[in-house]
Amino acid sequence: MQHVEVKAEASSDPIIYVVDDDEELRDSLLDLFLITKQRASAFSSGSEFLKLADTSAAGCVVVDLRMPGVTGLDLQKQLTSLGSRLPIIFLTAYADISTSVRAMKAGATDFITKPFTNQDLLQAIDHAINLDRERRKTDAESDRIRFLAETLTRREREVMLAVVSGLMNKQVAYQLGISEMTVKIHRMSVMRKMQSRSLADLVRKVEQLPKD
């Protein structure tokens, strides 16, 4: 087994994981990523990758479809079972439409047939890393909104859900059996705690909360 890493200037940079049993290809890709100043780590097998790699890291996986032991599709399934959402780019020397469809349906971002150009691979990697970056931003925002919502009291949450459903303060008061003034007080508290300056922003945030 062989594991080699190429470090970029910052350890926080996205990492490109290369998983391929072809040593020559691994070395060639690591040289490419060194030249393009990208952080990369190479593994000779899927089992080695699963054992040593940080599957929660930002970046992507470039993996050979057909490998001894843990295949590319096996690796994709195991990453999913681990809760990892690292984008996956499959490499293959065999054009297999049914397999590529399975891989893409399971979440692969690209399917590249060997031999390929460096430009094609780099473009696929840029796309995968951008997807991962945007997903992480979305996840972070969702986590922030859930944290804000957890600061609400039960009554504030009831008022919030009624307000974003389109009800006026008077209607909310009637529905909850409280005074309109109490609704206004709770509504102001909700806007402050949810860090929303407009009803439209509050609606957007509530849409991102898990449904009860």
pTM, to two decimals: 0.78
CATH of the domain at 135: 3.40.50.2300
- DSSP H or E stretch at residue 42: strand 39-43
Which of the listed residues 117, 140, 163 is the one where a domain comes to its end?
A: 140
* 102 and 177 part of one domain: no
Give tens-digit pLDDT for 104-153: 776 688 888 888 999 999 999 999 999 999 999 999 999 999 999 999 99
* 11 and 45 part of one domain: yes
Q: What confidence tier does 71 reach under pLDDT thresholds 50, 70, 90?
A: confident
Tell me if 145 is assigned to some domain.
no
DSSP track, 75-94: HHHHHHHTT----EEEEESS
Average pLDDT of the chain, as a whole number:
90
Find the mean pLDDT for residues 91-101.
Answer: 73
Give how far the C-alpha of residue 8 lies from the chain's centroid of Cα atoms, to the nearest Å: 22
What's the rounded Cα separation, in Å, for the pair 76 and 103? 8
Find the mean pLDDT for residues 44-59.
Answer: 93
Where residue 166 falls (left for φ over 0; alpha for ψ -120 to 50; beta otherwise) is left
* 135 and 40 part of one domain: yes
Domain that holds residue 62: 3-140
Strand order in the sheet with 88-92: 3-6, 39-43, 15-19, 59-64, 88-92, 110-113
